[in-house]
A and B are shown apart, each in its own frame.
Chain A
Amino acid sequence: MIELRGIARTFRVGDQQVHALRDVDLDIGRGEYLSLMGPSGSGKSTLLNVIGLLDRASGGRYRFCGEDVTDLDDAALAQIRRQRIGFVFQAFHLVPRLTTAQNVAVPLLLGEVPAAERRERVAEQLAAFGLSDRAHHLPEQLSGGQRQRAAIARATIARPEVLLADEPTGNLDRRTGEEVVAVLEKLQQGGLTLIVVTHDPDLGRRATRRLRMQDGRLVADEAGAAAQEGA
């Protein structure tokens, strides 16, 4: 469902060209579980942002679900993000002034889902993520794990096809991190395509397909049988 061909991304810093991505070719099928690893600055986040249509490639072509999205305008890209892509960030990025329920509801607001249906779906989602009793708490009143679960609940409430997680456990301790990973993997088993950027080799090994980046290039792409070894 994701086809990258010769994707490049360059940044201009002063009169220097920074090549964050160089000639990346990548095909990802529906329902796959990928991990993306590599040293800092190797271009992992940049690749994830390009896949998530949050950033535009400087070169190459991108087909998403069979549609060439390389030249779509911002509004069209926003619509695809709204309907088919979910993001999870290391820093959670919950809106501090909104309650858990309100944060989770934001994608439904953007999708113009009627209020009654919205309430119902938010309640279901909060229950599924074990956050029902935190519905009316502000983010600052939640623990790190709860915040990330709320963020994942938000990222998936609009029923996207792809979930992109950039170091989702980076701000969490090991135990909480494992809990969050379990949540993500459960969603993947439900049919979601999951791509996780991580520095944690144990976490990376859990994926069925492991990508490694270096200097803006994909240097390894291996299928691993190690997935679900704990489960």
Chain B
Amino acid sequence: MKLRDQLRFAAQNVLAARWRTLWIVLAMAIGTAGVVLLTWLGESGRRYVTDQFASLGTDLVIVLPGRSETTGGAPPILGETARDLTLDDALALQRSHAVRRVAPIQAGSVTVARGNRSREAMVLGSTAELLEVRRLHLAAGAFLPPGDPHRSTPVCVLGATLARELFGNDPVLGAWVRLGDRRFRVIGLLANEGRSLGTDLDEVVVVPVAASMALFDREGMFRVLVEAGSREVVPTVVAHVERSIAARHEGENDVTVITQAAVLGTFDGILRALTLAVAGIAAISLVVAGILVLNVMVVSVTQRRVEVGLLKALGAAPATILQVFLWEAVLLSFLGAGSGLLGSEVVSRVAASFVPELNGDPPAWAAGAALLVAVGIGVAFGTGPAVRAARLDPVAALARR
């Protein structure tokens, strides 16, 4: 029997059993769409997170006090480290062509008050450079003034939410607020920034680093952000940082240097693995659909015993019978997977129009893999019944009831 005729014959069977076909196609479609959509969600999530990192610049090098083996681990608390990472340490890092900017950061929590309104807020002590290094935007006013970082000027820049909570609709710029027992004049207002790397930038108050050192009575920096001239020179910057610190700390390289690229790579890897895991779980639903194929094929062979016997009497070889039934299984899986892909396309378009973060199309490799798995499962589960049909004894099958 020619391939075309086998396909047509199988298609006739598939069409003749409309309800049966519908159910199996539905099951296959759900499984396939599940794989594709979950992969898509995972990929979108991964892209969202990595984009967030990338927006901070992949040319960023973060220097933490203390030596820690695991990147991204919590920096050692003050006192644990042998030596503080001081403001002068940070400023010394500027002395390299590969370095574009350096922004030391001190962080701590204080009570911020204006009149009788007060609340706890995170204070970031830094320099004018922070604006560029962290790619921050101002809604109004100015950022920290440039100049000698050792000079403590009583000025501050407020996060959007914090400003609203303290001032309501009152004018903010030029007003005074209390941080702990010191007074600061508000010179700028951050635009809405949202969360970035675990800090809600809408809830912070930024002050000159010398002011925060006095406020917290602390010499050590929380971290130092170093921006490389370009992505290519990041390794040079890392080496430079380690050399400079070692030189200043009596030969001891007691800082941890994290590159943005390394963090990005780690996150990328973790999220990719998660995506694959989720897609794998969805693929299990395809196996369930495969069991349905098995069931339907067994029923089909049983119901069509007489027909199989007849085909054999008319001279169909066992291989022909096997092929016709296998094509039927493949056709069902293919129809199911195809509808699933179509469905996932529709769902992803609709979802993307509501959630802009879910951008991009479902990845093509996921669609291809889902299709392959679906058809593979159809063949795997269809083979048993098809072999049974091929082996059927025609005399017994044709015997009257």
| Interface, chain A (partner B; CB < 8 A) | 49, 52, 54-55, 74-75, 78-83, 85, 87, 89-91, 93, 95, 97-98, 106-107, 109-112, 154-155, 158
Contacts and interface: CB of A to CB of B under 8 A. Distances in A.
Interface string B1-13: 1100100010011
A107 B395 contact: no
B86 to A, nearest CB: 87
Given A49-B395, A54-B395, A87 B313 contact: yes
Interface string B295-324: 000000000001101111111111110000
B400 A90 contact: yes
Contacts of A90: 400
B313 A112 contact: no
A109 B5 contact: yes
Given A54-B394, A93-B398, A98 B12 contact: yes
Nearest to B9: A109
B2 A107 contact: no
A121 to B, nearest CB: 15
A83 B315 contact: yes
A123 B312 CA distance: 24
Interface residues of B, number: 25
B153 to A, nearest CB: 90
Contacts of B5: 109, 112
B16 interface: yes
A90 B320 CA distance: 25
Contacts of A87: 313-314
5 contacts: A78-B320, A81-B313, A82-B314, A90-B400, A109-B2
Contacts of A78: 312, 315-318, 320
Given A90-B400, A97-B16, A112-B1, A81 B314 contact: yes
A159 to B, nearest CB: 12
Contacts of B394: 54
A49 B318 CA distance: 17
Closest 6 CB pairs of A and B: A82-B315, A81-B315, A78-B317, A97-B16, A75-B317, A87-B313
Nearest to B310: A93
Nearest to A118: B5
A98 B9 CA distance: 10
A85 B316 CA distance: 12
Contacts of B1: 109-110, 112
A91 B319 CA distance: 26
Contacts of A80: 315
Contacts of B395: 49, 54-55
B316 A97 contact: no
Contact of B306 (A52, A82, A93, A107): A93
Interface string B377-398: 0000000000000000011001
Given A95-B307, A109-B5, A112-B2, A54 B313 contact: yes
Interface string B334-353: 00000000000000000000
B314 A75 contact: no
Contacts of B319: 75
Contacts of B13: 97
Contacts of B311: 106, 110
